[in-house]
Amino acid sequence: MKTGERDGGDLIQRLQAGAQAHRRPQKTRSCPDEDRLRLLLPGQLEPEEADKLLTHAAECDWCGTVLREAAQDLSEPPTGEEEELAGKARLADPRSRRELVERIVKRRRDWWSPIFLRWVPAAGLAALLLAGGVSYQAWARGPAHTERLLAEAYTKGRPMGMRVPGAEWSLVRTQRGAGSSSLHEPRELADANSNISRAIEAHPDDPKWLQLEGRADLLGGKEDAAITELERAHALRPGDASILLDWGTALFQRADAQGRAEAFERLSEGVRLQPNDPALLFNQALAAQMSNYPNEARDDWEKYLRVDSTSGWAQEARQHLEEVKKNLNGSGPIPPRQPRTH
């Protein structure tokens, strides 16, 4: 290309000068895996994924930099000096090469030989066990079981007044803060976290796993991380009421005034989508009560009790309702009724 074509024209000059001065290479949670990004070079990605990554890299200064550096490094053949270094490398020596090949082949043999020695005689049984094992593993690592684990972890040491989906009622036990020790973490939470890490690594943009990651962080007292993850899950699946439930809960748990007002909004959005979801109704009522919206709180607790009148949660809801009514009828000024956002 002629230099004039790149530099000619004030507009394009301003564009380039601005890029030099104001590009902000900063990695964000929406950035793709850098190893995948580099696979754009040898064209190993399916067209749909390649297109998605290119669109991102064109607009993201972090990924654009990763791609530019990779193209610089990999589009030029090795220099004479690099070839010389390769000629002196350890693996240029035939003995070292043989040792490495032996190691690679042995690794495979180590994996394979016990099957022949011990398992082949019972091949049918092994196949059955394997099939069972694979199914068990798939189930144990799946999102439904992980959700169950999180619910059990919550019930075991209920860390907050707000509910998480699927959890049985129990007494609020401890107040966990950010950075609380993982030594006191329920085993179920550790198991869930391990499933989540594995799944997120394989599917970083899966909204269900992002939601579970957010919920696990919430139970671990890491509200800021939870909010980021749940915001992203919501952006990927905006019509999911259960994500709004977790997001609203995380905002509430951050426990600042702005967070509580926003929490109430998110939970109300969730209730609009799932008007009879007990956990959403419960958390919405609690958010209203704690945000000092007493009229809203009264209405919401009454609504909750129409949906659930018998569980341990219902008993707790009745106590909250009594408290709200006492405040409305009793001492102190009654705050004005807050308009609903919907």
Residues 27-46 that bind another protein (CB under 8 A): 27, 34-35, 38-45
Q: CA 181, CA 220: separation in Å to the nearest integer?
A: 9
- Reading the block at residue 296, the tokens are 């809203």
Single out the residue of 18, 275, 312, 335 in contact with another protein (rule: CB under 8 A). 18
Q: CA 167, CA 162: separation in Å to the nearest integer?
A: 11
Q: CA 341, CA 154: separation in Å to the nearest integer?
A: 30
Contact window for another protein (CB under 8 A) among 63-71, 136-144, 223-231, 249-257: 63-71
In whole angstroms, the minimum distance from the beta carbon of 234 to another protein comes to 24
Residue with tokens 């919401």: 300
Contact window for another protein (CB under 8 A) among 51-59, 125-133, 150-158, 196-204: 51-59
Neighbours of 275 (CB within 10 A): 12
- The answer to whether residue 184 forms part of the interface with another protein (CB under 8 A) is no
Nearer to another protein, 77 or 239 (CB): 77
Q: CA 29, CA 62: separation in Å to the nearest integer?
A: 11
Contact window for another protein (CB under 8 A) among 97-105, 140-148, 248-256, 287-295: 97-105
- The answer to whether residue 91 forms part of the interface with another protein (CB under 8 A) is yes
In whole angstroms, the minimum distance from the beta carbon of 46 to another protein comes to 9
Q: CA 100, CA 209: separation in Å to the nearest integer?
A: 39
In whole angstroms, the minimum distance from the beta carbon of 336 to another protein comes to 37
In whole angstroms, the minimum distance from the beta carbon of 98 to another protein comes to 7
In whole angstroms, the minimum distance from the beta carbon of 219 to another protein comes to 23
Q: CA 340, CA 296: separation in Å to the nearest integer?
A: 8
In whole angstroms, the minimum distance from the beta carbon of 67 to another protein comes to 7
- The answer to whether residue 235 forms part of the interface with another protein (CB under 8 A) is no
State phi, psi for 125 to the nearest 5 degrees. Answer: -65, -45
Q: Which residues contact 19 (CB under 8 A, 6 or more apart)?
A: none
In whole angstroms, the minimum distance from the beta carbon of 52 to another protein comes to 10
| # residues near another protein by CB under 8 A | 74
- The answer to whether residue 61 forms part of the interface with another protein (CB under 8 A) is yes
End-to-end CA distance of the chain: 56
Single out the residue of 29, 30, 107, 130 in contact with another protein (rule: CB under 8 A). 107
- The answer to whether residue 50 forms part of the interface with another protein (CB under 8 A) is yes
Indicate if the alpha-carbon torsion angle 153, 155, 158, 159 is positive or negative. positive
